Amino acid sequence: MLFDIHCLPLKILHTPRKTLSLEITPDGLLVRAPRHMTRGQIDTFLAEKRSWIEKHWRIMQERQAALNQLPPFTMEELRALAEKASVVIPERVKHYAPLIGVDYGRITIRNQRTRWGSCSDKGNLNFNCLLMLLPDDVIDSVVVHELCHRKHMNHSPQFYAEIEKVFPEYQRCRRWLRENGSVYLSRLP
């Protein structure tokens, strides 16, 4: 049976960007397009990406099915992860902050559904306790990401260049987190 991309829910966001981007989400396809782009041009783009869409939609569906089989974390498990994170994360922050050349404020450990970390404009850092379940280099990539926000409170090319100076494996870890992170986040009660 042929895969029909037209049966997938489609959301189009017109923004000031210069290029098209395509994201597959559990809810369907998300296209970010330049403001001047017509629906016909977007449809042509989607037709050109059909095999990519089909492949990644199937991967997404398989991943969602697997996620639905996993039990939620218990409160005891989350408390144990938070305790471990309250020791491990400050050590990693203390290690990387001088390498980046930044200071920081308070470190808070939380169990958030959508974020692995965040940095406030006052320099306070928040980290997800679920990081303790991830590979060490992925944990470090999140720590470095948040500390680099002390220099750039955005996601500009300069921000990512700052990360790459200290953590050259960042893109690989970011990809791992994007591909595997939902397995952990979906188990939050």
pLDDT, one tens digit per residue, over 55-112 is 988 888 887 777 677 789 999 999 999 999 999 999 999 999 999 999 999 999 999 8
Q: Which helix (H) or strand (E) holds 51?
A: helix 50-69
Q: Which of 72, 79, 147, 146 is nearest to 113 (CA)?
A: 72
Report pLDDT for 162.
Answer: 97
- Per-residue pLDDT at 1 exceeds 60: no
Q: Does the model's pTM come out above 0.85? A: no
Average pLDDT over residues 130-143: 97
- 6 half-sphere exposure, CB direction, 13 A CA radius: 4
Query: Could you give the CA distance from residue 96 to residue 143 in angstroms, rounded to a whole number?
Result: 8
Report pLDDT for 171.
Answer: 95
Q: Which helix (H) or strand (E) holds 125?
A: strand 125-128
- Per-residue pLDDT at 27 exceeds 80: no
Question: How many angstroms separate the first and last alpha carbons of the chain?
Answer: 38
Average pLDDT of the chain is 91
Domain boundaries, the chain: 5-69, 75-185
- Per-residue pLDDT at 185 exceeds 50: yes
Question: Percentage of the chain surpassing pLDDT 70?
Answer: 96
Report pLDDT for 63.
Answer: 75
Residue that is written with structure tokens 């782009």 in the block: 37
- Per-residue pLDDT at 159 exceeds 90: yes
Tell me the CA distances in angstroms from 109 to 68, 126, 141, one per residue in order: 26, 6, 16
Q: Considering the domain 75-185, what is its CATH architecture?
A: 2-Layer Sandwich (3.30)
